[in-house]
Chain A
């Protein structure tokens, strides 16, 4: 006969066993590099595909709304194109630039399958990945502004660092004035506003001035409208403004996103590396 436990019940032994195995598993995925990579990648795949299924089902309920949204965006783009044709005397087919020669940016459309806005560091997931041509460190834009920057990519899904993340900084400028600064999330719990820093205090700023991307970061094309200034203050002792920007993009209900592929990034990066090594 084997001795029975006197301190714990049988259930207690089971719990002890599970706790110890849990600790071991935690140690394995925390302190061993290859296991940690495999673990995080699997979690990414599993949670991505679960979120993808759920989003598939949810998307049926908002088909009409999404259709309207896409129609509107389509109309906007068409009118832009026709204006361009009208102004510059080009035909629409002339505007089809080839990738190898002249095209700088390309957009990859994707559906947002997962989104958080309530945490300190927020992330989104997109239902396209490396197979569609997405890589790390590319800009992601929505209908009315910037959404974030791609962070981790696997074959079919992408994790995006949301603009509501303490690590995200967007290079932005004031439209028609040209002064640029960086747009960050002040993390005050209100997802309608962000803060524009680093604009020198001698610049005349009016409330209602529009803010757009500067194009300096090569993640985003220049001139994407981001929002308008609704509050300004100069912190004591500082030489720059702290501007409150009301976003055009409503991050709480984004369904679609476009990943910006910049064909000049490799060339710019290598140039940057050369400069750094000087």
Chain B
């Protein structure tokens, strides 16, 4: 229990620092400014152990999102997206459930589940987070095109960086 707390806490701090100090500064824009946002911090709440109570999952996702929001001056945007994504997580987990089911002491990490499963898991949920984030950022369906372009580009780059971080850190739980 304490180990899980320490693991996830450290993970959140590392991801927060990476997000705020590195990735949020590097807004790449080949198609004009602000088209690509690299968003890697969702990893922090996506890797919560299966046994985490649902309500704690919601509160942690909201808290993580809010802290990132406060450091990026976008109050509510990441918090809303994180809560939505953590709500979707069980649905995705059920869809890609391996034959043996899940061990509820484990976390959905690369070491536990290997590449195809982990890639599906992360790419789907980061897509959910990023789509929700840009929908709220643009905030009007009139610019649906802009939402989709921003989402797709940012999703592609963000997911690559999340994989990279996962390969480097490679936690067990």
Q: Which residues of A contact B (CB under 8 A)?
A: 1-3, 5-8, 12-13, 16-17, 20-21, 23-28, 30-32, 34-35, 38-39, 42
Contacts and interface: CB of A to CB of B under 8 A. Distances in A.
B53 A2 contact: no
B54 A38 contact: no
B55 A28 contact: no
A34 B77 CA distance: 13
A211 B110 CA distance: 81
A244 B136 CA distance: 51
A17 B87 CA distance: 8
B76 A25 contact: yes
Most chain A beta carbons < 10 A, residue from B58, B76, B79, B90: B76
Query: What is the interface of chain B mostly: helix, strand, loop, or mixed?
Result: helix
A13 B76 contact: no
Nearest to B83: A20
Contacts of A24: 62, 65, 76-77, 79-80, 83
B102 interface: yes
B62 A2 contact: no
B55 A16 contact: yes
B29 interface: no
B139 interface: yes
Interface of B: 50-51, 53-55, 58-59, 62, 65, 69, 74-77, 79-80, 83-84, 87, 90, 93-94, 101-102, 104, 136-137, 139-140
A39 B79 CA distance: 18
Contact of A25 (B54, B58, B80, B87): B80
Contacts of B59: 16, 20
Contacts of A34: 139
Given A2-B94, A3-B50, A17 B83 contact: yes
Contacts of A2: 50, 90, 93-94, 102, 104
A146 to B, nearest CB: 37
Contacts of B51: 3
